[in-house]
């Protein structure tokens, strides 16, 4: 009996069903299973050790429980993907080499290995956790990545390293220890969303990255939360920086960014540091409980700051410069917790402008030894004259429409415990501070 023409066409167009192959633990067993597999096969691991590094050179899915441990035995990268459409799910990857300049990693996705999916792995004790190194449209989701705690912090690897890999999605990963949580270098058009990063140098570090969204991430107890450097058109949206030791958010040679809805709280130095960054929109953020709310310097121009809340920072603004800077936009400024203002017409805008710094502040920044004279009659006379005769004030920041009420940004209950833990470690000096080098090193 002849088959109908439409059925013949359907059968010819349909790929053969992928085979599911069980792989027993053992030295070299996974490499042997990959060599014998057909494209599209699913290799299923079971609890036990799979010793030896492997290269995936055909489209496969490899899945297994956390108890299935692929161990690179300290040589090179543990699992290297060289072809498109490879999926890893569920198991543990450990034991990469320790050569940072070779980017030894637990999982490495090379150029041409597009559409890789790395899901729900435990990636532990590798130099770099996951290295997306040229593969496009990678998806890295819901993994737990635990890096090394030695050697010095700048000499460790990153949790996830993204290099020249457009279309990467990093979502729902938990990253702890190592150097940077997510290091994005020379990449573009990606989304890094909903990741939790703790006990690192930088939670998120951009270098030469463009058109990329960083949203809904949580940085806790790192040296620096979100470092956006030499990058363009970043979207930094709805992130939390809690107890980060140096800066919560840094814009360094970063232009045309949208910085919206972020909470930076409890930093020991600076909530927000802006250095030579231009045309950025900074609005609806809350900067709270830092040594300095915002440090603004190095000729940064055409930035819009509006609808932010600056709450209980020891010094709200440090502006190093003499130009006049207006920090309100279309009749709305920012909330300043130290501004004793009134709102007689009830429109939510204070009736008096806010000016955070005066001439003496600028002298103290440039000549710290002058702080010995802070209580002298001469200093008090200068400050009185500037307060009562504003024309004597130097150039600086002015908010002509301060807000009467601050915005609030909630923190999930389960995150509050992590925040308290990080605050306790900073207070007690019980933190990972093995790298005294300048944090701007990269």
- For position 280, what pLDDT does the model report? 97
Q: What is the mean pLDDT of residues 193-213?
A: 98
**pLDDT confidence tier of residue 356, bands split at 50, 70 and 90:** confident
- For position 319, what pLDDT does the model report? 87
| Region of poorest pLDDT, from 180-189, 220-229, 258-267, 414-423 | 414-423
The answer, yes or no, to whether residue 153 has pLDDT greater than 60, is yes
**pLDDT confidence tier of residue 393, bands split at 50, 70 and 90:** very low
The pair phi, psi for residue 169, each rounded to 5°, is -115, 120
The pair phi, psi for residue 292, each rounded to 5°, is -130, 130
The answer, yes or no, to whether residue 394 has pLDDT greater than 80, is no
The answer, yes or no, to whether residue 389 has pLDDT greater than 50, is no
pLDDT tens digits for range 113-140: 999 999 999 999 999 999 999 999 999 9
- For the record, the structure tokens of 123 come out as 């990636």
The pair phi, psi for residue 305, each rounded to 5°, is -120, 115
Q: Which residues of 225-256 are buried (b: 16+ CB within 10 A; e: fewer)?
A: bbbbbbbbbbbbbbbbbbbbbbbbbbbbbbbb
Q: What is the mean pLDDT of residues 350-378?
A: 62
The answer, yes or no, to whether residue 15 has pLDDT greater than 80, is no
- For position 383, what pLDDT does the model report? 45
DSSP 206-247: EES-BS-EEES-EEES-SEEEEEES-BS-EEES-EEES-SSE
**pLDDT confidence tier of residue 363, bands split at 50, 70 and 90:** very low
| Region of poorest pLDDT, from 16-25, 164-173, 175-184 | 16-25
Q: Between the CA atoms of 137, 159, 184 and 310, what dihedral angle is there, to the nearest 10 degrees? A: 120
Please name which of 232, 227, 225, 288 lies closest in space to residue 255, comparing C-alpha atoms. Answer: 232
Cis peptide before 270 (omega within 30 of 0): no
- What residue ranges in 11-152 does DSSP mark as E strands? 20-23, 42-45, 48-51, 54-56, 61-63, 68-71, 79-81, 87-89, 92-94, 105-110, 117-119, 122-124, 128-133, 139-141, 144-146
Classified by CATH at the fold level, domain 19-152 comes out as: Pectate Lyase C-like (2.160.20)
What is d(CA 39, CA 57) in angstroms, rounded to the nearest whole number? 9
Q: What is the mean pLDDT of residues 99-126?
A: 97
- For position 7, what pLDDT does the model report? 47
- For position 236, what pLDDT does the model report? 98
How many CB atoms neighbour CB 275 within 10 A?
A: 18
The answer, yes or no, to whether residue 321 has pLDDT greater than 70, is yes
Pairing of strands 315-319, 292-297: parallel
- For position 4, what pLDDT does the model report? 56
The domains of the chain are located at 19-152, 359-392
- For position 195, what pLDDT does the model report? 98
The answer, yes or no, to whether residue 379 has pLDDT greater than 60, is no
Please check whether residue 401 is in contact with residue 332, taking contact to mean a CB–CB distance below 8 angstroms.
yes
- For position 365, what pLDDT does the model report? 46
The answer, yes or no, to whether residue 314 has pLDDT greater than 70, is yes
- For position 300, what pLDDT does the model report? 87
Please check whether residue 78 is in contact with residue 105, taking contact to mean a CB–CB distance below 8 angstroms.
yes
Q: What is the mean pLDDT of residues 238-250?
A: 97
pLDDT tens digits for range 269-300: 999 999 999 999 999 999 999 999 999 987 78
- For position 396, what pLDDT does the model report? 80
- What residue ranges in 84-209 does DSSP mark as E strands? 87-89, 92-94, 105-110, 117-119, 122-124, 128-133, 139-141, 144-146, 160-163, 169-171, 174-176, 182-185, 191-193, 196-198, 202-207
- For position 341, what pLDDT does the model report? 86
**In the predicted model, what is the mean pLDDT of the chain?**
88
**Between 171 and 393, residue with greater pLDDT:** 171
Q: What is the mean pLDDT of residues 361-385?
A: 52
- For position 369, what pLDDT does the model report? 56
**Between 371 and 136, residue with greater pLDDT:** 136
């Amino acid at each position: 009996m002849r088959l109908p023409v439409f059925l013949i066409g359907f059968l010819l167009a349909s790929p053969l069903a992928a085979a599911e192959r069980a792989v027993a633990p053992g030295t070299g067993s996974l490499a042997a299973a990959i060599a014998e597999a057909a494209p599209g096969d699913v290799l299923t691991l079971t609890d036990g050790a799979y010793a030896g590094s492997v290269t995936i050179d055909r489209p496969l899915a490899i899945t297994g429980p956390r108890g299935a441990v692929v161990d690179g035995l300290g040589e090179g990268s543990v699992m290297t993907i060289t072809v498109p459409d490879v999926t890893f799910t569920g198991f543990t990857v450990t034991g990469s080499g320790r050569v940072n300049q070779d980017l030894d990693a637990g999982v490495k996705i090379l150029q041409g290995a597009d559409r890789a999916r790395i899901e729900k792995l435990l990636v532990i004790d590798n130099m770099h956790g996951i290295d997306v190194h040229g593969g496009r449209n990678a998806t890295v989701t819901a993994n737990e990545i635990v890096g090394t705690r030695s050697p010095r912090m700048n000499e460790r690897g990153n949790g996830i390293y993204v290099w020249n890999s457009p279309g990467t999605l990093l979502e729902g990963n938990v990253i702890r220890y190592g150097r940077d949580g997510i290091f994005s270098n020379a990449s573009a058009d990606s989304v890094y969303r909903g990741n939790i990063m703790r006990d690192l140098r930088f939670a998120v570090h951009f270098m030469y990255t463009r058109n990329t969204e960083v949203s809904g991430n949580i940085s806790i107890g790192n040296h620096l939360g979100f470092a956006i450097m030499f990058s363009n058109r970043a979207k930094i949206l709805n992130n939390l920086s809690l107890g980060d030791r140096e800066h919560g958010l840094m814009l360094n040679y970063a232009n045309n960014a949208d910085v919206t809805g972020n909470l930076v709280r409890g930093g020991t130095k600076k909530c927000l540091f802006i250095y030579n960054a231009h045309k950025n929109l900074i609005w609806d953020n809350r900067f709270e409980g830092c040594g300095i709310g915002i440090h603004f310097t190095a000729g940064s121009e055409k930035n819009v700051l509006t609808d932010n809340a600056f709450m209980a920072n020891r010094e709200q603004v440090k502006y190093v410069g003499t130009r006049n800077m207006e920090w309100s936009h279309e009749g709305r400024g920012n909330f300043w917790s130290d501004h004793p203002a009134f709102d007689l017409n009830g429109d939510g805008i204070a009736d008096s402008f806010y000016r955070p710094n005066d001439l003496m502040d600028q002298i103290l920044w440039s000549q710290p030894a002058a702080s010995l004279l802070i209580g002298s009659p001469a200093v008090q006379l200068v400050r009185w004259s500037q307060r009562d005769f504003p024309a004597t004030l130097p150039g600086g920041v002015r908010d002509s429409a301060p807000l009467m009420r601050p915005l609030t940004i909630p923190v999930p209950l389960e995150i509050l415990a992590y925040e308290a833990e990080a605050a306790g470690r900073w207070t007690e000096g019980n933190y990972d501070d093995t790298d005294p080098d300048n944090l701007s090193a990269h």
